[in-house]
Amino acid sequence: MSTRTRGYSQLREAVTACLNRHDLLGVLDLGAPADEYDPEAEDFACIIAKGEPITADVVAAVWHKWFGEPSEHPGPPTIGMAALAVDLRDVQQAYARWCACRLLRQG
């Protein structure tokens, strides 16, 4: 999926809003910018756009990619990661509905 489409832009906005609501690092209330989680948002948006499942383990793997020690394996997902996965699945379902509607209009 092109990252330049309106749908992808809306997906990125929804993923960023979700990440900011969860603020797993607890940095937004400390003054971090609203785009603090942009790299992670891009990873999650790509996963969602590809239709790959979003699970707590996927969230833990993405988190580890950006914040973990490269020589270590990701640890088990936290409760916060599991909650984020649930909300990201909601975003994924909304995105899938949007894509399906778009295809119906084209066909």
Categorize the per-residue pLDDT at 4 as very low, low, confident or very high, splitting at 50, 70 and 90. Answer: confident
Split at pLDDT 50, 70, 90, the class of 105 is confident
pLDDT digits (tens, 9 = 90+) for 27-72: 999 999 999 999 999 999 999 999 999 999 999 999 999 999 989 9
**Which two structure tokens, joined as six digits, stand for 100?**
């399906």
Of 79, 67, 87, 94, give the one whose Cα is nearest residue 21.
Answer: 87
Phi, psi of 24 (to 5 degrees): -55, -25
Residue 20 is assigned to a structural domain of this protein: yes
Position 1 in a domain:
no
Residue 104 has pLDDT above 70, yes or no: no
Separation CA 89–CA 6 (nearest Å): 20
Q: Are 15 and 44 in contact (CB under 8 A)?
A: yes
Answer whether residue 34 is part of any domain.
Answer: yes
Alpha-carbon distance of 62 to 71, in angstroms, equals 15
Q: Does 68 reside within a domain? A: yes
Q: Which domain holds residue 76?
A: 6-106
In a domain, residue 94? The reply is yes
The count of structural domains within the chain is: 1
Asked if the model's pLDDT at residue 107 lies above 90, the reply is no
- Separation between Cα atoms, residue 62 and residue 56, nearest integer Å: 10
Higher pLDDT, 101 or 60: 60
The reply to whether 21 falls in a domain is yes
Residues 41, 19: contact at Cβ < 8 Å? yes
Q: Which helix (H) or strand (E) covers residue 98, if one does?
A: helix 79-106
